[in-house]
Chains A and B, each alone.
Chain A
Amino acid sequence: MRGRDDEWTDLMRSANAGDSVAYHRLLKSVTPVLRAGARQGLSRAGQPPDQAEDIVQDILLAVHLKRHTWDANAPFAPWLFAIARNKLIDALRRRGRRVFVNIDDFAETIPSEPPAETLPTVEISNHLSDLPPRQRDVLRSIAVDSASIKTTASKLSMTEGAVRVALHRGLASLAAKLRKD
Chain B
Amino acid sequence: MKDRIDFKQVGALLRKQFEERASAYRKGNFDVFGFLLRWFLIAVFLAVFIVFFGRFTVTYLSVKTGGVTVERTRLYELLAMTYTVILLFLVIGGISQINRRLFDADDIKLLMGMPVGAKTVFVAKLVSIYLGQLVISVACVLAVNVTVAIHTTQPWYFYLVTALFCFILPLISLAISALVAMPYHALKQFLKDKFVLYFILITLATGLLFYLYSIVLGAVRDMLLGDSLKFFFNEQVMNFLQTLTKFLYPAVWLADLLLGQNLLVAGLGLAGVLAVCLTVALLVIRRLMVWVMQARIAGDVHFIHKKSEIKAAKRPFLALMRKDFLHVFRTPAYTFSYFSVAVMMPLMVYFCMTIGSSIVVKLIGMNCDLEIAIFLTLLFGALTNVFCSTNISREGEMFYSVKAFPVDYKQVFFSKVLLCMLVTALSQLISAVLLAAMGYIIWWQAAFLFVGGLLCSFAQICFATRYDFNHAKFSTEEDGEIKESGNTASTIIVLGMLLAFLTGGSVLLLRLLTALRPVVGLGYLTYLIVGILSMMAAALAYYYFIRKLGERYYTFSGGGQL
Q: Do A and B bind each other?
A: no
Interface residues of B (CB under 8 A from A): none
Interface residues of A (CB under 8 A from B): none
